[in-house]
Structure 1
């Protein structure tokens, strides 16, 4: 999974978050995701499928925040991106990098909350599907 690393403002615990961003006024979530990848990485993506939406409240800098995360499985149109270990996020200090899903199952903190469980269930569904 392509993620960037952050640090929780209160506990300073390290977390990992998939790339994405906020929606502009009246923007469709799919259009917003395509725009965000263009802005953040200069990359074109194809949306393969929508995953369940997650809703969370959390503390950040002594404030309670609320987020609704529209989640999608995507693929990069430029296959060479998968060969890059890190990708610089445009106009930001963050560097995106590939992290195995197994790291999250073994305890690394993936946000938004609930995403690790959702991806674990998705992987189980994929692995248990047969040719029937």
Structure 2
């Protein structure tokens, strides 16, 4: 039996996943109940289409991106949003087009805004 979108935290209208600390791709895949390979493909989509996502990775001495390090809370949130969009659009190409059309949906400002909404809601 397949987990529902709600169980995965991938509902389109949910604020996304907020991790309190850095997590590995394997840990995030477990949290989202998807295969690690699926998460890695979402990471590739984000890396080449969302500048702030790519910039959140450290840079190696040779100038390349160090993709083996744990994901920041912002990056985890981005990947959960990409997963949500993928669940609804069913195609990597459509997801790429969605990101191109709505880059603000994956911005650090949107992350901060939604994080503040969630934390205010939990404090009430």
TM-score, with length taken from structure 2: 0.27
Question: If each structure's strand is expressed as a fraction of its own residues, which one has the higher value?
Answer: 1
Of structures 1 and 2, the larger Rg is shown by: 1
Question: If each structure's helix is expressed as a fraction of its own residues, which one has the higher value?
Answer: 2
